[in-house]
Amino acid sequence: MFAKRQSALAAAAGAPPRARGPVMPMNALRTLARKPPVLVGAAGLFLLAAAALFLVVLGDPRAGAPSARVSLKRPAAAQTPAPTGFDAFSMGAMDLYQDLTGTADDGLGEAASGEALITLPDGATIAGGAPVAAPRHAASPLPAAPISGLSQPGPNGALPTIAPDGRTPAVAYARPFRSNGRPRVALIVGGLGLNAVTTRAAIERLPPEVTLSFVPYAEGLQGWIDLARAQGHEVLIEIPMEPTGYPDTVDPGPQTLLAASTPDEIQARMTWLLGRATGYFGVTNYLGDRFAPSDAGMNAFLAVLRQRGLAFLDDGSMRRRPGAFARASADRIVDETQTPAAIMGQLNALEAAAKTRGQALGTGFSYPVTVEAAARWTAGLEARGLQLAPASAIAARPGR
């Protein structure tokens, strides 16, 4: 057995290998290789094979390059709470006193170490670079509006009216006041409701005795009036009146009272303006140097106020116009020049007028610098022998 197997293996080793399938003759291969389609296909296969070999031997050619993944999902913006009025005007916010300047002849102060000084009537000074913190005043709330019996339905909202028992908005919505025998001084700060920060600042930073005046076009007007009254401020509504240059250079809005308006037109516009909110004891003018000389216009305007039991307190430009349920005119506008030194000078002059005549009324706009100056000024009035009064306490009623 073993000898037979060995001889068989030896014989097989010397024999040529057997073919395992059909073999194409060499001549046929040469003929096929000369055809163009075959050449192109072969070249493509060669390139693919070369690329595969390159990747196997060398690896990914970009494997060594630096790479990074970036998330394209935008994070939600953080909700920043709106600043309160106290935040906006304390701790030197908004650089309100960065431009304190005075001149040698203005009598308001003198520069020291590069900082202007504001001189108060008692001789104290306020340095321009260091804010003096006027306190946030505790709420001294007034009755919520509307008070029963003092309004009636109107085409655009509730309108003020005299109650059947004789109560009037001019009295019911005014801040109560009791004189202590000292000279009284009052201040109206207006232009409120359009800017949330300055409106909150006036409500929070100023004493409750300071009267606040709101723009009738303001969004959320009733909410602002409610907030002011909750803090203790009595409230006025501003009535836009035709100024010189209307409407080309100055336009107080679509409900402006015009000098050429008929009494019916005045009535219609007043109905819209007075129907914007409730809780105000009277109105004040916004501009109006062209409307004021109009007898027909002013008479129609004042007649509406008398019929509805409202007070009228003007900025000093209409003091010769009697009428309305209660009436007063400002002795001066305190911020025609919008610098702290100039405003404080006007407030000091208001004090002097009150000491001379027993009372005085000032008015100003809700510029940040006005609010801050007024907050500082009112803080020392009692120590200087004066009583801060709401503007309604200055208004006189006919026959009283």
Answer whether residue 219 is part of any domain: yes
Please tell me which residue, 237 or 4, carries the higher pLDDT value: 237
Note the pLDDT of residue 397: 81
Please tell me which residue, 1 or 45, carries the higher pLDDT value: 45
Q: What is the mean pLDDT of residues 140-165?
A: 97
Answer whether residue 243 is part of any domain: yes
Whether the per-residue pLDDT at 57 is higher than 90: the answer is no
* pLDDT, tens digit, 9 for 90 and up, residues 188-206: 999 999 999 999 999 999 9
Please tell me which residue, 227 or 47, carries the higher pLDDT value: 227
Answer whether residue 334 is part of any domain: yes
Q: What is the mean pLDDT of residues 152-158?
A: 96
Q: Which two tokens stand for residue 144?
A: 């919520």
* pLDDT, tens digit, 9 for 90 and up, residues 278-332: 999 999 999 999 999 999 999 999 999 999 999 999 999 998 788 788 999 999 9
Note the pLDDT of residue 137: 81
Lowest mean pLDDT among 34-43, 136-145, 226-235, 390-399: 34-43
Note the pLDDT of residue 30: 58
Answer whether residue 142 is part of any domain: no
Q: How far apart are CA 217 and CA 371, in angstroms?
A: 21
**Percent of the chain beyond pLDDT 90?**
62
**Percent of the chain beyond pLDDT 70?**
66
Answer whether residue 246 is part of any domain: yes
Note the pLDDT of residue 323: 78
Whether the per-residue pLDDT at 276 is higher than 60: the answer is yes
CATH assignment at residue 270? 3.20.20.370
Number of domains in the chain: 1
The overall average pLDDT reported for the chain is 79
Evaluate whether 286 touches 315 at the Cβ level (below 8 Å): no
Q: What is the mean pLDDT of residues 235-253?
A: 96
Q: What is the mean pLDDT of residues 386-391?
A: 98
376 C-beta neighbours (distance < 10 Å), count = 21
**Confidence label for 123 from pLDDT (cuts 50, 70 and 90):** very low
Q: What is the mean pLDDT of residues 371-381?
A: 95
Answer whether residue 352 is part of any domain: yes
Query: Which range of residues forms the domain containing residue 322?
Result: 154-393
Q: What is the mean pLDDT of residues 350-359?
A: 97
Q: How far apart are CA 349 and CA 68, in angstroms?
A: 70
Note the pLDDT of residue 355: 97
Answer whether residue 65 is part of any domain: no
Q: How far apart are CA 127 and CA 143, in angstroms?
A: 39
In sequence order, what are the beta bridge partners of 117?
127
> Which residues neighbour 235 within 8 Å (Cβ) at sequence distance 6 or greater?
173, 211, 212, 213, 214, 225, 228, 229, 279, 280, 281
> Which residues neighbour 92 within 8 Å (Cβ) at sequence distance 6 or greater?
131
